[in-house]
Amino acid sequence: MRKTALFFSMLCLYSLAMRAQTSGIGDVNFTPNYLLQIHRNAASGVVFQLTNTTTGLASTDGFQMNLNGTAVELNNRENDDMRFFTNNAERMTVEANGNVGIGIAAPLQRLHVVGNVQFTQALMPGGNAGITGQVLESQGAGVAPVWGSAAKNNVSSVLASDINIQSAVWVNYPTSSMTFTALSNQAWVMFSASGFAYTNSMAYVQFRIWNVTTGTSIGGTSTKMQSYDDATGTVTPWSSRMLKPLTGLTIGNTYTIKVQYRVGGIKGTYSAVVNPVASPDEHHLTLTVIR
pLDDT number for residue 77: 95
Residue 182 scores a pLDDT above 70: yes
pLDDT number for residue 133: 76
CA 53/CA 241 separation, integer angstroms:
76
CA 164/CA 145 separation, integer angstroms:
46
Q: How many C-beta atoms lie closer than 10 Å to residue 15's C-beta? A: 10
Candidates 206, 200, 236; CA nearest to 223 is 206
Containing H/E element for 11?
helix 2-20
Query: In this structure, which amino acid lies at residue 91?
Result: R
pLDDT number for residue 232: 64
**Dihedral (CA of 12, 16, 21, 22) sign:** negative
CA 50/CA 73 separation, integer angstroms:
14
pLDDT number for residue 107: 96
CA 23/CA 31 separation, integer angstroms:
8
Q: What is the mean pLDDT of the chain?
A: 85
Candidates 148, 152, 158, 206; CA nearest to 178 is 158
- Output the furthest CA–CA distance in the chain (Å, rounded): 127
- Contact status, residue 98 vs residue 105, Cβ threshold 8 Å: no
Q: Phi/psi class of residue 62: alpha, beta or left (left: φ > 0; alpha: ψ in -120 to 50)?
A: left
CB-count exposure of residue 9 (10 Å: 0-12, 13-18, 19+):
exposed
CB-count exposure of residue 47 (10 Å: 0-12, 13-18, 19+):
middle
Candidates 138, 160, 156; CA nearest to 148 is 138
Tens digit of each residue's pLDDT (9 = 90 or more) over 133-180? 788 888 888 888 888 776 566 788 888 889 899 899 999 987 788 899
CA 50/CA 62 separation, integer angstroms:
6
pLDDT number for residue 11: 45
Tens digit of each residue's pLDDT (9 = 90 or more) over 208-246? 999 999 999 999 999 987 666 666 667 788 899 999 999
Rg (alpha carbons) of the chain, rounded to whole number: 38
Tens digit of each residue's pLDDT (9 = 90 or more) over 246-290? 999 988 899 999 999 999 887 777 888 999 999 999 999 999 998
Question: What residues contact residue 187 under an 8 Å CB cut-off, 6+ apart?
Answer: 180, 245, 246, 249, 289, 290, 291
